[in-house]
Chains A and B, each alone.
Chain A
Amino acid sequence: GAGVSQSPSNKVTEKGKDVELRCDPISGHTALYWYRQSLGQGLEFLIYFQGNSAPDKSGLPSDRFSAERTGGSVSTLTIQRTQQEDSAVYLCASSRGQVETQYFGPGTRLLVL
């Protein structure tokens, strides 16, 4: 079946602009995660959605970052007023539930000029 998909695959933006990154999880997966992979910080957890529960936002680095998940499926990660330090690969993962294997998408490579 189809895996986790993310769009766009690459995004170049200017400092100060807003960007939206999209994640389509595997059908039927109730859990969805966002991670960030950067040279300086490695792989970091950002946010977690599980069903209708309140999301765990404990990994979001600043209030410029937000995410939503509509209809328990597609998720959008929004970065407002982008900064150069936001440049990274943003990875989305989904799983059938807690403690289940997380399947990762190919990521969105964001470059802030």
Chain B
Amino acid sequence: AQSVTQLGSHVSVSEGALVLLRCNYSSSVPPYLFWYVQYPNQGLQLLLKYTTGATLVKGINGFEAEFKKSETSFHLTKPSAHMSDAAEYFCAVSLTGANSKLTFGKGITLSVRP
């Protein structure tokens, strides 16, 4: 079985500040890892994913995440927050060799202060 932990439910940063959203996972086999973003009243949009290969993954809108197997982490970062980044962010895991159903964390709401 697999699980995802996103500590805290809300993060607030100033515009231009670093964004760091934490994600830790538990998986019995090598995982695939994902970050999705959800804007108000919209569906989920993929930001980035890790499957195999390079552990530093770059995604859309300037976000990136690093897979650290030793720490079972996949934290999401962005060097400089923009007002448009305000949304809810979900980390998710699926299992290699399985049917790819996603197991999500509880989500983190990001607020950006002017």
Contacts and interface: CB of A to CB of B under 8 A. Distances in A.
A56 B42 contact: no
B94 to A, nearest CB: 8
B99 A48 contact: yes
Contact of A43 (B42, B96, B104): B104
Given A43-B90, A99-B32, A107 B102 contact: no
Interface string B76-114: 000000000000001010101001111111110000000
Given A31-B100, A33-B101, A99-B32, A104 B45 contact: yes
Contacts of A43: 90, 92, 102, 104, 107
Interface string B45-64: 11001010000000000000
B99 A91 contact: no
A50 B99 contact: yes
Contacts of B101: 33, 45, 48, 56, 59
Interface residues of B, number: 23
B49 A106 contact: no
Nearest to A43: B104
Contacts of A95: 100
A111 B94 CA distance: 29
B42 A106 contact: yes
Contacts, number: 52
A104 B100 contact: no
A99 B51 contact: yes
The residue among B32, B42, B104 with the most chain A CB atoms within 10 A of its own CB is B104
B29 interface: no
Contact of B99 (A35, A98, A107): A98
B44 interface: yes
A101 to B, nearest CB: 6
A44 B102 CA distance: 8
26 contacts: A33-B102, A35-B102, A42-B104, A42-B106, A43-B92, A43-B104, A43-B107, A44-B104, A45-B101, A45-B102, A45-B103, A91-B43, A91-B44, A93-B44, A98-B99, A98-B100, A99-B96, A100-B100, A101-B46, A102-B46, A102-B102, A103-B46, A104-B36, A105-B43, A106-B42, A107-B43
